Amino acid sequence: MDATGTLDEALERLHRCGPERLGRLTNHAPMAVEALAARGRSQSVHRWLDLYAAKLEDFPAGVERITAANWRAAMGDSGRSADWIGFFEREVAERPWREVLAEWWPRLLPGICGGSTHPVIRVGHAVRTLLSDADADADADAGAGAGAGAGAGAVTEPRLAELAHGLGYWAARHRPVTVPVSLSGAESASATLALVPRITVQDGGFPARIGHVEALPRWAAATREPAEAHRQLAELVRAATHRYATHGHGEETMLVHAATAPNAVLRTLPALPQALWASSLHAAWTAAAAVTAMYAPATAVPPVPLGGLSAEEVFDRALAHGDEHVIKLADTALDVGDEPALAAAVRAMELTPPAR
């Protein structure tokens, strides 16, 4: 992933900062720099980070030490992010990181929509830095397709710390979502996303809108076999990425998460026991469908023509554009790897103001 050590340097730099700014906006830098390193652009990591630095805040103060005995009372308390990060830093220092992840993944998964899905996305990027060649090979054998990753990882202290920051952020922003009514779906992820009803309240931010999601269509609800869960999750990532090319204008930033959140889950599967794969698929579907319900436009538009651009050229354009969501969607588009996915990344560049 990064033979130069640049990614680890950037992560160490970022771990002096908090997971959010202004009390609610996510620090996207750890995810973006990981994507740059994973795609062979390590030479651009610090330059990009210098431009993003104005959006960073100091690491927050702690409140009280979280332990194995009192963690339940702190779950979902956004004011305890420092305490949660400290808890997970101790956990990954004392135990194998996969063991920590496997224990906490099912506890955190019901809150996948917390923090506007950013915590699970940060965890997915962190896990990619830690996975080995053997993990990537096993994922390919499972029929990975989307989410297969961009290279081998290495277990270093900054990367373990990044996993702790991601898990801690997720625990602090944990917000379970219950959708009481389940509608009929379709056979494919793409067709079922098209059936997601738009909420009637079309203003306010993510926390306000998600309370208005009253019904989502069923898709893959009966899936229990790990291999099928993996295949369907890759299908969901592909469908959500393709859909951005024609529906991203509904909200150019938030609709990115309909693709990047399930892709974060897909990237994490090789590090998890297969017994957790089906529940991961179901949570990823809820997240993608909920984001679609909150932000999808009433009508589609034609995708932009690629004009012969290669995947590498699309990612270079995303880097030059500089916006963190554009970079992350381009990273997911390269995982999917086909022309409609690359067209989605180009659409994001058209819709999103360039970083300054």
Task: Provide the pairing of β-strand 215-217 with 181-183.
Answer: parallel
Which tens digits make up the pLDDT trace of 240-289?
999 999 999 999 999 999 999 999 999 999 999 999 999 999 999 999 99
DSSP per-residue codes, 182-230:
EE---SSHHHHHHHPPPPS---S-HHHHHTT--EEE--STT---HHHHH
What are the two backbone dihedrals, phi and then psi, of residue 43, each rounded to the nearest 5 degrees?
A: -65, -15
Question: Tell me, what's the pLDDT at 203?
Answer: 83
| Percentage of residues of the chain with pLDDT beyond 90 | 88
> pLDDT class for 149, splitting at 50, 70, 90?
very low
**CB of 48 closer than 8 Å to CB of 39:** no
Which tens digits make up the pLDDT trace of 50-61?
999 999 999 999
d(CA 143, CA 151): 17
What are the two backbone dihedrals, phi and then psi, of residue 182, each rounded to the nearest 5 degrees?
A: -115, 125
Residues 6+ apart with CB under 8 A from 66: 74, 80, 83, 84, 86, 87
For the cut 80, the answer to whether the pLDDT of residue 132 exceeds it is no
DSSP helix/strand/coil, 94:
helix
For the cut 60, the answer to whether the pLDDT of residue 307 exceeds it is yes
For the cut 70, the answer to whether the pLDDT of residue 306 exceeds it is yes
**Bridge partners for 17 per DSSP:** 58
For the cut 60, the answer to whether the pLDDT of residue 147 exceeds it is no
- Residue that is written with structure tokens 């019901």 in the block: 110
Percentages helix, strand, coil for the chain, rounded to the nearest 5? 65, 5, 35
Q: What are the boundaries of each domain within the chain?
A: 6-172
How many Cα atoms are found within 13 Å in the side-chain-facing hemisphere of 23? 0
d(CA 76, CA 108): 10
How many Cα atoms are found within 13 Å in the side-chain-facing hemisphere of 227? 5
> pLDDT class for 154, splitting at 50, 70, 90?
confident
Which tens digits make up the pLDDT trace of 69-99?
999 999 999 999 999 999 999 999 999 999 9
Higher pLDDT among residues 152 and 54, named by residue: 54
Cβ burial, residue 218 (10 Å; 0-12/13-18/19+): middle
For the cut 90, the answer to whether the pLDDT of residue 157 exceeds it is yes
Task: Provide the pairing of β-strand 215-217 with 25-26.
Answer: unpaired
Lowest pLDDT segment from 143-147, 230-234, 352-356: 143-147
Question: Tell me, what's the pLDDT at 151?
Answer: 46
- Mean pLDDT (the chain) is 93
**Residue from 54, 237, 41, 245 nearest 151 by CA:** 41
- State the DSSP H helix or E strand holding residue 14, giving kind and residue range, or none if neither: helix 6-14
Q: Say how many residues make up the chain.
A: 356
d(CA 126, CA 120): 10
Q: Where are the alpha helices (DSSP H) in the chain?
A: 6-14, 29-38, 45-52, 71-74, 81-94, 97-108, 118-130, 133-141, 157-172, 189-195, 206-210, 226-247, 257-268, 277-295, 311-321, 324-336, 339-351
d(CA 128, CA 124): 6
What are the two backbone dihedrals, phi and then psi, of residue 216, each rounded to the nearest 5 degrees?
A: -135, 145
Tokens, residue 14? 């970022």
For the cut 60, the answer to whether the pLDDT of residue 142 exceeds it is no
**Residue from 95, 254, 269, 283 nearest 176 by CA:** 283
| Percentage of residues of the chain with pLDDT beyond 70 | 93
